Structure 1
Amino acid sequence: MDNMKNKSYLKTLGLIWILIECNLVAGNIFGFASLFSELPRYGIYESECKNSSEQILFNNTKILKKDCSGQMEKYQLAFTLGIAFYNLPAIIVGMISDYLGPRSLKLIAIIFHLISWLSLGFVTPNRDWLLLFHTIFLSLTGICTLLTSFSISANFSQNRGLVTALISGAQLTGSIWYAIFQILIEKNFISLSTLAFIWASFAILMFGSAMLFLDWRFTCMNSILKSKSIKKEVKTITSHDTLIQQLINPLFIVVTLFLSCLLLTISFLPVIWYKWLLHLTGNNNQLATRYTRIYNMIAVFGIIVAPLCGFIVDYKAYRGYTQKMFNISILQTLTWIGSVALCITCMFQSIFAAIIALIILTFSRTILVAGSQALIATVFPPQFIGSLLGIMWSTAGIISFATYGLVYLTTNPTDIWRGWVIILFLCAIMSGHLIQVWILYIKSKKEKKNQLTIINEEEMKTLKSSIDN
């Protein structure tokens, strides 16, 4: 009895540790826009600023006005590359997790983590290219940490969807740290380099989770818990046991395309957010910075919204395939509605539209990311979670490179609506996925009803035969 309690205690401790770690290091890149207002004070890419006009005051004092749009574009490039590299290598990362084990992948993540934050710590005007190193390796750290964390869901077979959603929520809330950085730097409490070195020290935390709660193979905590494989797992939609057969599953294909297209909504908005706010506030840097801070701070609500996705996926899942398809259909419908609403709202040129967009984003981003990942972790066999999530996110990463092209379409803030029209068109095409999942649900419901009818008929025949005898 004590041994079972100790195992449960270790599983819970491991989950809490993983959630804290994901919050600190797995999702920072999505809040990078908060530094747009603080990087200029360190002279990062200041060479991109050009003198645009000269103003003479009443006392014959000359003031040169600078056009720093080139500087802002460099920041946006670093941000865009960071978001793209968060997803692009996921297929390799997922396979490393499946075949070499999450511990091996976590050790790789530690190396990327140190490169990223030390690059930011040593960035200077003559080494501003280190900013690109920071965002790219920060993203690589994030995806490696996230996928290793999902392996822990194998120890919570009855609540796999909920655990996966909690991890996703912790990762999404990680964007608030850059907003906190912005406040601390603005108030002159601490410098950017000092914060970078502090975050680099979290490599110790990552090493601890790798050694204590992850194993060289897929089954996490195996070396400590020595837990036996659970015989009664939640029944998956498919009974195939090879990766190729999982990849050609129509549900996996459409979910991947669905996530990839709708993900453009939450990858395009943070890139153009600061420029959009500057336009809406009449180039008021203070107001734009304040709204950007709020933009990243609301990510903390992801830790509340994410479990709701897990509950939807897990709701009465023990009933089988039909119930799972119903849960999936509800979740994907909510995801699509949120993404479409975000696209339409961001086409309007007003502060009120920006506030509404923030509210929608709080739910849309979390449901899209946490819901899709919880779906994969719940429906498909656990031994393929790393590879399937990796392929799904790599596909999303390739498509997310379109964000940089959309940015070029919106060099003028008044033309931002053009990018949203293109994304809205893709979302409209993906409505076909909703039709498909609801058709799958209806078919499964009919099949279940037919099976029950056949069983009842057979039971009646058996009963009648026994009576006759």
Structure 2
Amino acid sequence: MDDQAGKPYLKIIGLIWILIECSLVAGNIFGFASLFTELPRYGIYQSECRSSLEQNILSETNITKDTCHGQQAKYQLAFALGIAFYNVPAMVSGMISDNFGPRSLKLIAIIFHLISWLSLGFITPDRSWLLMIHTMFLSLSGISTLLASFSISNHFVKSRGLVTALISGSQLTGSLWYAVFQILIGKGLISLSTLSFIWASLSVLMFGSAMLFLDWPFNFIDSTLKSKITKKQVKTITTDDTLIKHLTSPLFIVVTLFLSALLFTISFLPIVWPAWISYLTESNSESITRYTFWFNMLAGFGIFIAPLCGFIVDFRAHRGYTQKMFNISILQTITWIGCVSLCMVCMQQSITAAPIALFILIISRVLLVAGSQALIATVFPPQFIGSLLGVMWTIAGLISFAIYALLRLGNTGKDLWRPWAVILLLCIMMGGHLIQVWVLYIKSKTEKKSQSSVIDEEEMNTLKNSNDN
């Protein structure tokens, strides 16, 4: 950063700006289910509803009844496409960030953002297909914004893990905005199109952060926060460090497997939440709406839990590799315990299990997502962070398509214990990787002691030889 010592407040302003931005636009797709009850107001996919005649025996009259399972299926398809498009293209986004700079990626995200929200703003019953365009480009914009935002952590050398965790936590709060939309639209305070145009205008906020706080490799229009390459970084870049080397690192593979397997817990619950709550409340529509609302609103607490991951990753990290491995082992262990507990709670058929599951979900989601990303940003070289995060999320996204196979095992309240049992088994199997990580820590600690003993012995011999002379 140019004149960073004279203007230390600039990076703080940049971080706050990006945290607000990520909270507003980076994770909206995860709360899209809140619109399921409001979209029928505008006749979106109304053609998928089918009318049927039912005869009232007492009054001997025919009653027309609409069944809209097809309409809800279209909404679920749009949601599923959005989730898939959020994770799968992450690798390409990471490559763009590494090769053309995070500013270039943010400018691309702005284009996706405008396409997404303008599509929703102009949607009509005759143009219901725009809903698919909205969710797909919303996800493309979200993941691009998130990966571009991580680059600001390079200005916080001593607390890069904490900064990355904060950004991840702010992204998780993005799902609550659809819940806010649900309230505003339901009370008739504002229309869906007006909200869409308001959210499209947030591209101005994104453009500001791109031009002021993010870099690119071109020589014109430098950012206010211009990164300087230190001697240490020059040494890193000019060595034999390659992306392939870090992609094949055992640590990266372990983190990716952890994220991919344990991601089933926090991805499967939002999908089956309405069916589970419907079964637990005996199809009480008011209870279903209330639980779904709080399900999305409580996601905002992620911004307060995320710093915990950063503190764990950064704790005494200056002591070297051994301390980092200890921090990583602690974080992965806590994450694993949380995900296993979530599986066990969700297998229960009691209404008291719902709030407990929601509480565990909030903590587990933040620990898994923010912790994994903070780990990558802390341990690996900064010039590869974008690509490594992209590959990690792409692999996790591809594996997450297995959720649809899990739904075939059971998608109603009384049968949900079957897929949860499979997910629990996968989580237990990941316990083997916990053993691997702790073994790596013990080995590194032993090697450190051995090296210290050798150094002490050499110093003693040198001192003895000097005394003899």
- TM-score, normalised to structure 1, is 0.94
Residue 335 of structure 1 aligns with an amino acid whose one-letter code is T
Instruction: Report what 2:332 is aligned to.
Output: 332
- 1:200 deviation in Å? 0.8
Query: How much does 1:291 deviate?
Result: 0.6
The Cα of 1:422 is off from its aligned counterpart by 2.2
- Asked if 1:189 is matched to 2:189, the reply is yes
- 2:133 matched residue in structure 1: 133
> For residues 248 and 222 of structure 1, do their structure 2 counterparts lie closer, same or farther at Cα, with a shift above 3 Å needed?
farther
What letter corresponds to residue 182 of structure 1 in structure 2?
Q
Q: Deviations over 1:237-269 (max 9, x none)?
A: xx8511111111111112111101111211111
Q: Distance in 1 between matches of 2:74 and 2:404?
A: 12
Deviations 1:293-325 (A, max 9, x none): 101111111111101000000000000000000
Asked if the contact 2:215–2:226 (Cα under 8 Å) also holds between the matched residues in 1, the reply is no
Structure 2 counterpart of 1:363, one-letter code: I
Correspondence list, 1:105-120, <5 A = 105-120=105-120
The verdict on how the C-alpha distance between 1:282 and 1:240 changes in structure 2, with shifts beyond 3 A counting, is farther
Cα distance change of structure 1 residues 285 and 357 upon mapping to structure 2, 3 Å threshold: same
- Which has the larger displacement, 368-377 or 108-117? 108-117
Equivalence for 1:33 = 33
Give the letter aligned to residue 291 of structure 2. Answer: Y
**What is the letter of the counterpart of residue 317 of structure 2?**
A
Alpha-carbon distance in 1 for matches of 2:48, 2:417: 26
In the alignment, which residue of structure 1 is the partner of 2:450?
Answer: 450
TM-score, normalization by structure 2: 0.94
Instruction: After TM superposition, list the pairs within 5 Å mapping 1:344-363 onto structure 2.
Output: 344-363=344-363
Determine the C-alpha separation between the residues in 2 that align with 1:104 and 1:19.
19
1:323 and 2:336 aligned: no
Contact 1:7 1:225 in 2 (8 A): no
The one-letter amino acid of 1:306's match is A
**What SS does the aligned partner of 2:54 have?**
strand
CA distance in 2, matches of 1:448, 1:5: 35
Shift in CA distance, 278/49, structure 1 to aligned 2, threshold 3 Å = farther
Equivalent-residue separation in structure 1 for 2:80 and 2:436 (angstroms)? 32
* Code of the aligned partner of 1:361: L
Q: C-alpha displacement at 1:4, in angstroms? A: 4.1
Aligned 1:50-69 pairs, distance under 5 A? 50-51=50-51, 54=54, 56=56, 62-69=62-69
Tell me, yes or no, if the aligned pair for 2:154 and 2:160 is still in contact at 8 Å. Answer: yes
Shift of 1:431: 1.6
Cα deviation 1:396-452 (Å, max 9, x = unaligned)? 111111223333443433222222222222212222211111010000010011111
Gaps of 5+ in 1: none
For 1:364-383, what per-residue CA distance to the aligned partner results, in whole angstroms no more than 9, with x for missing partners? 00000000000000000000
Deviation at 1:140, TM superposition (A): 0.5
Deviations 1:149-206 (A, max 9, x none): 0111111111110000000000001111011111111111111111111111111111
Provide the residue aligned with 2:373 in structure 1: 373
Q: What number of residue pairs does the alignment pair up?
A: 464
368-377 vs 250-259, which moves further: 250-259
TM alignment of 1:281-320, pairs within 5 A: 281-320=281-320
1:110 and 1:210 map into 2 onto residues whose CA distance is 10
Aligned to 2:224: 224
Q: What displacement does 1:287 show?
A: 1.4
Question: What is the rounded CA distance, in whole Å, between the counterparts of 1:173 and 1:318 in structure 2?
Answer: 31
After superposing the two structures, state which structure 1 stretch, 51-60 or 115-124, moved more.
51-60
1:52 offset after TM fit, Å?
5.7
Residues 272, 411 of structure 2: 8 Å contact kept: no
Whole-Å Cα distance in 2 between the matches of residues 65 and 405 of structure 1? 32
**Alpha-carbon distance in 1 for matches of 2:268, 2:379:** 29
> What secondary structure sits across from 1:66 in the alignment?
strand
Residue 41 (structure 1) shift? 2.1
User: What amino acid maps onto 1:151 in structure 2?
Assistant: S
CA–CA separation in structure 2 for the residues paired with 1:426 and 1:65: 43
| Superposition pairs of residues 119-268 of structure 1, within 5 angstroms | 119-217=119-217, 223-231=223-231, 241-268=241-268
The CA deviation at 1:282 is 2.1
Q: Percent identity?
A: 70
Bigger drift between 147-156 and 272-281 goes to 272-281
Between 62-71 and 433-442, report the one with greater CA deviation: 62-71
- The question of whether the paired residues in 1 share the 8 Å contact of 2:322 and 2:444 is answered with yes
Q: Distance in 2 between matches of 1:222 and 1:21?
A: 21
Question: Which whole-Å CA distance do the structure 2 matches of 1:68 and 1:406 have between them?
Answer: 24
Q: Residues 289, 315 of structure 1: CA spacing in aligned structure 2 closer, same or farther, 3 A cutoff?
A: same
What is the distance in 2 between the residues matched to 1:449 and 1:458?
A: 14
Report the AA paired with residue 460 of structure 2. M
Instruction: Measure how far apart 1:284 and its partner are.
Output: 2.1
Residue number in structure 2 paired with 1:460 = 460
Label 1:57 to 1:302 Cα distance change in 2 as closer, same or farther (>3 A): farther
Separation of aligned partners in 1, 2:45 and 2:417: 28
Summarize the Cα distance change of 1:249–1:212 in structure 2 as closer, same or farther, 3 Å threshold: same
Matched, 1:388 2:388: yes
Structure 2: give runs of 5+ residues left out of the alignment. none
For 2:267, the aligned partner's letter is S
Post-superposition offset of 1:47: 2.8
Secondary structure at the counterpart of residue 224 of structure 1: coil
CA positional deviation for 1:5? 5.0
Tell me which amino acid in the other structure corresponds to 2:77.
Answer: L
| Paired letter, 1:277 | I
Alpha-carbon distance, 1:59 to partner: 5.6
Q: Is the 8 Å Cα contact of residues 20 and 170 (structure 2) preserved in structure 1? A: yes
The answer to whether the 8 A contact 1:77-1:404 is kept is no
Q: Which residue of 1 aligns with 2:341?
A: 341
